[in-house]
Amino acid sequence: MDLKNARVLVVGGAGFVGSHLVDQLIGEPVKDIVVLDNLVRGKKQNLANALRDPRVQLIEGSILDVELLKRLMQGTSYVFHLAALWLFECVHQPRAAVDVNIVGTYNVIEAAQQARVKKIVYSSSASVYGDALATPMTEEHPFNNRTMYGATKIAGEQILRAFYEQHKLNYVGLRYMNVYGPRMDYKGAYVSVVMKVLDRLDESQPPVIFGDGSQAYDFIHVQDVARANVLALKSDASDQFFNVGMGVKTTINDLVKTLLELTGSKLKPEYKPQEQSFVTQRLGSTEKAERLLGFRAKISLRDGLKSVVDWRRQEKEEVVG
């Protein structure tokens, strides 16, 4: 797909992943970048640098507003759909999860189809897989999900498939592994361990690990995820789903150890019983994304975690200043 002089709509573009995607789209020869976000979890400050570019426009609104979506889709070539309630919210607000993640996603897809958008890139999740039945998980791994969040992401994927079958609306779905990086918040069920550990260390308190720390995940830096989105849009791939991860398994013990080293802390982790039963093993195959999208993660876990430590330090200095 050719991005030259294109109008791109980024739904959820003020959020964690979305804002990094907007930053990278600025480097492309696009004509306009329209960001739609309700600013409930997204933040205008995430787009502070991007909004200096005259091509970037932020519209505050909801994907439940069908008429707004129809207006924004007019003249739009490509859509990135990232807006969603995350796992934590889906556990505690299941009806809202259905409204936003399923009905809202349908609204985006329908409006895109009616406006003859050329392609949608949809942010799905490795949550559709649930606990791994075999590792690394390929895209053919069965849906072993047992969470409301995963259920809504499966629904979004299936709606896209149906629209492709009926209307030939091109799309690519990206199944993110465990995304972390600057601008992350505290709502992720797994990656929040990064922020919680750093919070404890800031208070000179030992980091807390729930369970024995052997839980292992595929952590991927948000800038790599944003790059995967751009590559997915540019690719010829359609009606396809791709894992987006490092392809490297990291235990919570190893994650905490690296954070202790990066911060120079001598504190020892404190172990407590597992509070909630979420997925405990996750590792995605990266072969399909490498082969069809040309995507391979570049940022190592250590460098990526250092970027989070540096970002937090800068944020605090700005508050103090």
The CATH number of residue 118's host domain is: 3.40.50.720
Local confidence band at 190 (pLDDT 50, 70, 90 cut-offs): very low
Q: How many structural domains compose the chain? A: 2
Task: List, as own/partner pairs, every contact residues 277-280 make where C-beta atoms lie below 8 angstroms and the sequence separation is at least 24, other chains included.
Answer: 278/87, 278/147, 278/189, 278/190, 279/127, 279/130, 279/131, 279/132, 279/190, 280/131, 280/211, 280/214, 280/215, 280/216
| Mean predicted lDDT score pLDDT of the chain | 94
Q: Does 72 share its domain with 145? A: yes
Compute the average pLDDT of residues 217-234: 97
Residue 187 pLDDT greater than 60, yes or no: no
Ranking 36-50, 178-192, 216-230, 247-261 by mean pLDDT, the lowest is 178-192
What percent of the chain has a predicted confidence (pLDDT) above 70?
96
Do 159 and 13 fall into the same domain?
yes
Average pLDDT over every residue of 228-241 = 98
Q: Which domain holds residue 266?
A: 192-216+249-281+306-320
Say if residues 296 and 227 touch (Cβ distance below 8 Å).
no
pLDDT of residue 279: 74
Selected residue with higher pLDDT from 127 and 315 = 127
In this structure, which amino acid lies at residue 175?
A: R
Give a yes or no: residue 256 inside a domain.
yes
Checking if the pLDDT of 301 tops 70, the result is: yes
CA distance linking residue 255 with residue 273, whole number of Å: 18
Q: What percent of the chain has pLDDT over 90?
A: 87
| Residues acting as catalytic residues | 149
Per-residue pLDDT reduced to its tens digit, 271-290: 999 866 567 788 999 999 99
pLDDT tens, 303-321?
Answer: 999 999 999 999 888 766 5
The reply to whether 22 falls in a domain is yes
254 and 235, same structural domain?
no
- Do residues 168 and 310 both lie within one domain? no
- What pLDDT score does 318 carry? 76
| Segment 147-161 mean pLDDT | 97
Q: Are 211 and 274 in contact (CB under 8 A)?
A: yes
One domain, residues 69 and 49: yes
Same domain assignment for residues 80 and 64: yes
Q: Based on the fold, state whether residues 272 and 140 are members of the same structural domain.
A: no
DSSP classification of residue 160: H
- Give the number of other CB atoms < 10 A from CB of residue 16: 26
